Amino acid sequence: MAFNEKMKLKIWSPWAAGVLLGLTATASYVLVDKTIGSSGGLENIDSMLLKLFHSSLANSMYFKFQMPPVLSFQILLFVGMLLGAFTSSIWSKDFKFRMMPDQQWTQVFGPSKLKRWSMIFIGGIIIEYSAGIAGGCTSGLAISGTMQLSPAGLIFIGGLFVSGIITTKILYGGDY
Amino acid sequence: MMTYVVPIVIGFFFSFALQKAGLGHYHKIVNQFRFKDNTVMKFMMTGISVGLVCLYTLKDLGFIQLDQVSSTYIFGNLLGGLMFGVGMALAGT
């Protein structure tokens, strides 16, 4: 299949996309000696905001040395990530503004937008906070960490799946 | 160039892979936890395997040093992982 037709596919085989991910992570290690991650960048932005509003938290050890208020590698990664996902979805005509996720959500939880938005907000807070505790998120710790055979990544994946399965089971109840 | 352009290019291909695997969708993430759709697992494991082979080959050939290894502190990683799963199942991201 020609290159353009491949790019127009909405979904690739997960194996193919995974190979691209592995090569990207290696490239990042070789070229800039950093690992791919996404939660750290948000904490750098937090740190900048705290400094901007002269919060006393900005002087804490964590926001001063662990996540300093600088334009870090991961913030630049965000810029690229927005461009990448945008290009990919435009190219395959998959791009659209969604207020609600497709099908499955409405079947299980009903059409309430408030419910969806409050759940994604609370979920987002939990995700970012626990990424701070663990030292990385799915990409920063689970993928990049395990890639270097660090036990941290494997422990994280284990914990993630245990509680994820339990939470989904509770949320879906009989439909699980 | 190395500090500003390279991270943007890397981010571009990273999210390109994520989008093409369909991981921008709520149902892909949640159905992994229900074991109805194993895309997340296939994607993550392929990524990890390819990266692992490439990284350790380059390390053994002496091109890079593995000096960015994530630090392990069992309690923190486990607690973070357990909380992360709750958030991921709620938000589906």
**Chain B residues 6-35 with CB within 8 Å of chain A:** 6-22, 24-27, 30-34
Give CA separation, B56 vs A148, A150, B14, B50, B53, in Å.
8, 13, 20, 10, 5
- Are A57 and A175 in contact by the 8 Å Cβ rule? The answer is no
| Contact (CB<8Å) B86/A167 | yes
C-alpha span between A38 and A36 (Å, rounded):
7
Could you read off the pLDDT of A14-45 as tens digits, one per residue?
Answer: 999 999 999 999 999 898 888 888 888 888 88
pLDDT category at A1 given cuts 50, 70, 90 is: low
Could you read off the pLDDT of B38-64 as tens digits, one per residue?
Answer: 899 999 999 999 999 999 999 999 888
**Chain B residues 55-74 with CB within 8 Å of chain A:** 55, 58, 63-64, 66-74
Coil, strand, or helix at residue B36?
coil
- B chain contacts of residue A73, beta-carbon cutoff 8 Å: 7
Distance from CA of B63 to the nearest CA of A (A): 8
Could you read off the pLDDT of B59-89 as tens digits, one per residue?
Answer: 999 888 888 787 788 888 999 999 999 999 9
At residue B57, the pLDDT reads 93
Q: Where are the alpha helices (DSSP H) in B1-93?
A: 5-20, 26-33, 39-60, 74-91
Nearest residue of B to residue A73 by CA position? B7
- Are A98 and A9 in contact by the 8 Å Cβ rule? The answer is no
CB contacts < 8 A, A to B, total 328
By the 10 Å C-beta count (0-12 exposed, 13-18 middle, 19+ buried), B8 is classed as middle
The reported pTM is 0.88
ipTM of the complex: 0.91
- B chain contacts of residue A39, beta-carbon cutoff 8 Å: none
Could you read off the pLDDT of B1-33 as tens digits, one per residue?
Answer: 777 899 999 999 999 999 998 888 888 888 898
| Contact (CB<8Å) A163/B72 | no
User: Of A148, A150, A175, which to mutate for an interface test with B (greatest number of B Cβ within 10 Å)?
Assistant: A148
- B chain contacts of residue A147, beta-carbon cutoff 8 Å: 47-48, 51-52, 55
